Amino acid sequence: MLLALPVAVEAQFTYTTNNGTITIAGYNGPGGAVAIPNTVYGLPVVSVGTAAFYYNHAVTSIVIPNGVTNIGTYAFNWCNILTNVSFPNSLISIEDYAFQDSGLTTLAFPSSLRSIGAQTFSGCTALRSLTISNGLTSIPAMTFHYCSSLTSVTFPGSLTSIGSDAFIYCSSLTYVSIPASVTSIGSFAFANCTSLTNVSLTANLASIGSSAFQNTRLTSVTIPSTVTSIGSQAFSNCDGITNITVDPLNPSYSSSNGILFNKSQTLLMLYPPAKSGSAYNIPASARNVDGYAFYHTMLANVTFLNAVTNIGAYAFNGCTNLVNVTIPKSLVSFGESAFAGCTKLVGLYFGGNAPMLLGKVSSSDPTIIYYLPGATGWNTNYGGRPTVLWNPTPQKNSPNFGVRTNRFGFDITGTANIPLVVEACTNFGNPIWLSLQSCTLTNGTIYFSDPQWMNYPSRFYRLRSP
């Protein structure tokens, strides 16, 4: 039943009654500073109803009286000049979208509050500070999504979970301290918080969702012993990370030289993009390179041992210093756009049969795919890139083979314009290979000669990819 308020305020509020209590249903007043009455006709006001102030562009502040326990869905949604709200100590719940896209600048929740809904404060772009009082146990999905002015958050010791997208696009947030009570951080929870440089992850945290801290400015990450689940891309596109440390007692994950692995180190999960050094040898234990594992790193050289079987999607995406990469014959699966955005990458040299391709290698970079004689599964195109048979062969029966004018040399033939490197060593049983010449088989042939051959008791030669 819809009733009118007393004469003094009847033109401003509408309300409904339910079992002797009042729910504010609407507001038609002049705006400015508004105080909701705590009683109407002697009946207590216990709720601000669904969309009661929806799309109001006149109210600048709200005082919600003691006795109100619930704020309904969309109650203050799109109140774009509402800068301040005073919550009562009786408040228990705030429902979905209640203050979405409002003009609030600060928020302090009462200790009575036990639940807030999804996207409750999403899009509050003027919100600068947030204090969540003790008693609240979870922050639902997208609760503070796109609060782009938010610089600080105080979490209570009662909090156990931070939902997916909870603080996504909070681009002014610089520091987050996760209390020891929190056991889960949802997917994309702090993604695109592009000013976030430091986060403290404490004991009892069990799971970090996929892309939870994606595209932040973190410089280091410490994973506590309790974390047993880290979602894909949890720290991807964090171009400032120099080091990842995992507690040695962690049963699921480990770190080696600042690089994140699973516990057995068969899965390389993340190479810190800002880690110093230009070269990296993937360890013999690694069988899988995770998606986005080397995303945006500055490495110029990556060496695979003949153990890796899978390279995940976007694994080396945006590695703009890579020029040539040799893929081991052990590889059986090649992920979508694994080397996309590698703008200097001119050659991918595959040591075996064509791996199962899960998408494009790249569509616009200069990369050429090279494969060996006898390998199967290769066509003229692989994942959007042209393929070329890499088959340089020394011609031992050529008239140019042997000593000529104090130098030892031989012809090399193969597919036209393939690049190669000639190396030499002096002890074939324990070789230390020295690069002698990098060259290209222009028109399918080249003559190589070694003027230093007489300086060694013996010398062995080999051809390799760049």
Tokens read off for 116: 């807030």
Give tens-digit pLDDT for 359-405.
888 766 799 999 999 999 999 999 989 999 999 999 999 999 999 88
Instruction: Encode pLDDT of 149-187 as tens digits.
Output: 999 899 999 999 999 999 999 999 999 999 999 999 999
The tally of domains found in the chain comes to 4
Q: Are 172 and 150 in contact (CB under 8 A)?
A: yes
Mean pLDDT of 454-460: 91
Confidence at residue 358, expressed as pLDDT on a 0 to 100 scale: 84
Residues 384 and 430 both lie in one domain = no
**Confidence at residue 69, expressed as pLDDT on a 0 to 100 scale:** 99
Q: What is the domain range of residue 256?
A: 117-260
Strand order of the β-sheet with 434-440 is 434-440, 419-425, 460-464
Please state, rounded to an integer, the average pLDDT across all residues of the chain.
95
Q: Please name every residue paired with 385 in a beta bridge, in sequence order, or none if there are none.
A: 382
Q: Answer yes or no: are the C-beta atoms of 340 and 366 closer than 8 Å.
A: no
Query: Which pair of tokens denotes residue 110?
Result: 């009462």
CATH of the domain at 21: 3.80.10.10
Sheet-wide strand order for 368-371: 324-327, 347-350, 368-371, 385-389, 381-382
Determine, yes or no, domain membership for 265: no
Residues 97 and 133 in one domain: no
In this predicted structure, the answer to whether residue 4 has a pLDDT above a threshold of 80 is: no
pLDDT for the residue numbered 9:
60
Mean of pLDDT values over 4-26: 81
Residue 166 inside a domain? The answer is: yes
Pair 139, 241 in one domain? yes
What pLDDT, on the 0 to 100 scale, is given for residue 364? Answer: 65
Residue 26 placed within a domain: yes
Average pLDDT over residues 15-20: 95
- pLDDT, residue 406, reads 85
Whether residues 406 and 300 share a domain: the answer is: no
Which pLDDT band, with edges at 50, 70 and 90, does 242 fall under? very high
pLDDT, position 306: 84
Give, in degrees to the nearest 5, the angle at Cα 353 between 347 and 358: 75
- 155 and 256 share one domain: yes
pLDDT higher than 70, residue 39:
yes
